Amino acid sequence: MYLILRRKYVLRRRTNFFQHSRFFRDFNFISHSSQPWLCKFDALRPGRFLGLLVSLVVIACSFSGCSSESTGDPELTKNTYIELVDWHVSGLWVINCPVAWVRVANYNRVPIKEIQFKYTTYDYLGNKLNEGSYTIEGTVSPGGVKNFIELYIGLVDIHSERLDIELRSVESG
C-alpha cells in the first residue's frame, strides 16, 4: 500500500512545474502508516513559498511608508525646504511602488530628523489616484542640505504619471 501511494505522490509531483526540484524530491515521509501523503516540509513547496513571499512583500511595502500623524515643531517645519528631485515607479504591474529622490534643506540652527511629508499621485489627465505619508528617518545638519535617494514611499496605481510631495512636519534632532 505504501508503494502505491508513493507512486501516486511521484506522479502528482511530476505534473506540477514548480516541484521538479531535486531538493524537494529527497524528503522522506513522516510516517509510513498513519499519514503517507504528508511530507515533512510540505508547507515549503515552491508554489506556496512564492505565494508567501509575494504576500510578505506586499504587506511590507504597504506599511513601510505609513506612520502616525506627528505634530513636530511648526517653527522648524517653517524653516525647512523639501524638493522632489526625481522619481519612478518600480514594480511588476501588481506591486507598484514609487522610488523617490528627495532633497531636504535645513535653514534652522538645530539639526532636524523625522522629516514627514505627504505624497499624492495623479494620472495623465490630472485625476488624483493615491495619497499617503512617508517619514524620512535620517538627520539633516543645521544649515545643511541632504539628498535621500531610493525612498520606497508606498503602493500606488500603475497609471501614476505625476507625484507631488508636501512637507508635513520635522522634529529637532
pLDDT tens for 117-171 read 999 999 999 999 999 999 998 899 999 999 999 999 988 888 889 999 999 999 9
| pTM for this prediction | 0.58
Q: Check whether 81 has a pLDDT greater than 50.
A: yes
Q: Which of the given ranges, 6-20, 29-43, 95-109, has the highest pLDDT on average? A: 95-109
What pLDDT is recorded for position 115?
A: 94
Q: Check whether 19 has a pLDDT greater than 70.
A: no
Structural contact between residues 117 and 82, judged by C-beta atoms closer than 8 angstroms: yes
Q: Check whether 12 has a pLDDT greater than 50.
A: no
The Cα diameter of the chain in Å comes to 80
What percent of the chain has a predicted confidence (pLDDT) above 90?
Answer: 43
What percent of the chain has a predicted confidence (pLDDT) above 70?
Answer: 60
Average pLDDT over residues 55-79: 69
For 74-172, give the CATH class.
mainly beta
Q: How far is CA 159 from CA 47, 64, 93, 103, in A?
A: 29, 21, 10, 25
C-alpha cell at 159: 497609471
Q: Check whether 29 has a pLDDT greater than 70.
A: no
Average pLDDT over residues 50-67: 63
Phi-psi region of 98 (alpha: psi -120 to 50; beta: other; left: phi over 0): beta
Domain with CATH 2.60.40.1620 in the chain: 74-172
Average pLDDT over residues 42-71: 60
Per-residue DSSP letter, 3: H
Q: Check whether 20 has a pLDDT greater than 80.
A: no
